[in-house]
Amino acid sequence: MTNEILEQVQTLENYLSEHIEGANLDVHPYEVADLLMNVKKVDEETFTQFLNKLPKALLAEVIIEFPKSDQEELYGRFGPKKLAGLAGELNTNDAAELIQHIEEIDEKKADAILSNLSEEDRDTIEKLISYEENEAGSHMQVEIFEAHVDEKIGDSILRLKKMKANNEIDNVHHVFIVSNGRTFVGMIPLEDLILHGPKELYRDVINDEGKITISVEPHDDIKKVVETVSNYDLSVIPVVNDKGILVGRITSDDIYDIISEEATGQIYNLAGVNDDAEQEENFWLISRSRAVWLGLNLFTAIAASLVIGIFDQTIQSLVALAILMPIVASMGGNAGTQTLTVTVRQMALGEIAGDEARQTIIKEVSIALLNGLLYGVVMGIIAYLWFDLPMLGLVIAMAMIANLFAAGFFGATIPLALKKFGVDPAIGSTVLLTTVTDIVGFFSFLGLATVILL
């Protein structure tokens, strides 16, 4: 082992020693997972020994911090009973995600894990798993600090202390106020309770401080949840059913994970890469996934080449066209990518809907035209000075204006059209846009050259 890894091993040893002896050492599971992954790279046996030393509660938290591929490896090592014990140490949403992940690998093992859980935990997790991945319910946890509207503040705080002491709940920043039948009334930040005495009722707090009544339903699209949390600067959002009954909460850490996953997926899709496939360690699976998009790109490139082939005699008669031709296509491609990226991102944030789509297209076309005019003139002058052909400068200037117009228009309309047909706007947009800007760029430049110069 290197000195660095030896130091990391010693750090883990010290942590485990203090933790098992009951010392209160503030170390996040992510840090332990990071150290363990470094140890695993150089010494599998030491890695396994550390796993066996970790207390069950910590092991559960550490495992969900591992990369997906390493999680799958560990699921294969542990039996259903041990995995059920680990799931029982997690928040319900994390436990549901763990079992759902195992179900994708081994459905029988997932069923065995569920059968080893208590009836209450099993019913809760099965309910969470039943929601679609893009629904709010699949991301909520049922552990909630709630108080009845007629309850005393002091009584609820004592109950929260017991819950925290028993590790029944974490990440608590709000108290959810309910009336009879757990009907959601509103939530208030815990910091507001400082201004009130322990014998005061929550009803009095609501009357003095007000309440936050924003909530979502289990079947709401998770994108709507993210948008709501962002718009209202919330650290947690309650989940209520169609009858207004409080059923769970979604915390900010889960929202951050969702935003991160969505942003990663968009970046991959814009590049023609499958984000799920990239999580695989199998070299051939990743290659196959990328090959599909490269194959599609090959056919679109052939389509652009066919356009060039139409004007082969034009190119032969004036070599300068072959030299300048890539510039027109490149400028169009880059301008289109700018428009496409901005449009897709605004759509993901919910900033484009209804009449805003038309305004977006007009805005992006206007920007593209302005840049087209600017760089069309610049390139026209350069081409004139370069080849001493005034009309060649005019041709490339006109072609660049036309191609940047197309880049702005199709860069905005392609993702909007894909969304209308129920397709993820990030998927395939880049390939389609590149094809358009190449074909328009080559056709306008060579077509104008044929008409004006020959």
Residue 244, by phi and psi: left (phi above 0), alpha (psi -120 to 50) or beta?
left
pLDDT at 31: 81
Q: How far apart are CA 89 and CA 56, in angstroms?
A: 8
Q: Measured between alpha carbons, how far is 123 from 427 in angstroms, rounded to an integer? A: 37
d(CA 8, CA 444): 62
Q: What is the DSSP string of 190-224?
A: GGGGGGS-TTSBHHHHHHHH--B---B-TTSBHHH
> Residue 340: what pLDDT?
87
Per-residue pLDDT tens listing for the chain (454 residues): 556 666 666 666 666 666 554 444 456 788 888 888 888 877 788 888 888 888 888 888 889 888 887 888 888 888 999 999 999 889 898 999 899 889 888 889 999 999 999 888 899 999 999 998 889 999 999 999 999 999 999 999 999 999 988 888 888 989 999 999 999 999 999 888 888 889 999 998 888 777 889 999 999 999 889 889 888 888 899 999 999 999 999 998 888 888 777 766 666 666 555 555 555 555 566 666 666 766 777 777 788 788 888 888 888 888 889 889 889 989 998 898 889 888 887 877 667 766 678 888 889 999 999 999 999 999 999 999 999 988 999 999 999 999 999 999 999 998 888 888 877 776 667 878 888 999 999 999 999 999 998 7
Which DSSP letter does residue 141 get? B
User: Residues 6 or more apart from 247 whose CB is under 8 A from it?
Assistant: 140, 142, 218, 239, 240, 241
Give the global pTM: 0.68
Domain with CATH 3.10.580.10 in the chain: 146-251
What local confidence, expressed as pLDDT, does residue 191 receive? 87
pLDDT tens for 130-140 read: 998 889 999 99
Instruction: Give span(s): CATH 1.25.60.10, the chain.
Output: 3-139
Residues of each domain in the chain carrying CATH 1.10.357.20: 275-452
Query: How do 146-148 and 174-178 pair as beta strands?
Result: parallel
pLDDT tens-digit readout, 221-250: 998 898 898 888 888 999 999 999 999 999
CATH topology of domain 3-139: MgtE N-terminal fold (1.25.60)
The architecture in CATH of the region 275-452 reads: Orthogonal Bundle (1.10)
Bridge partners for 236 per DSSP: 251
d(CA 109, CA 148): 40
CATH assignment, 146-251? 3.10.580.10
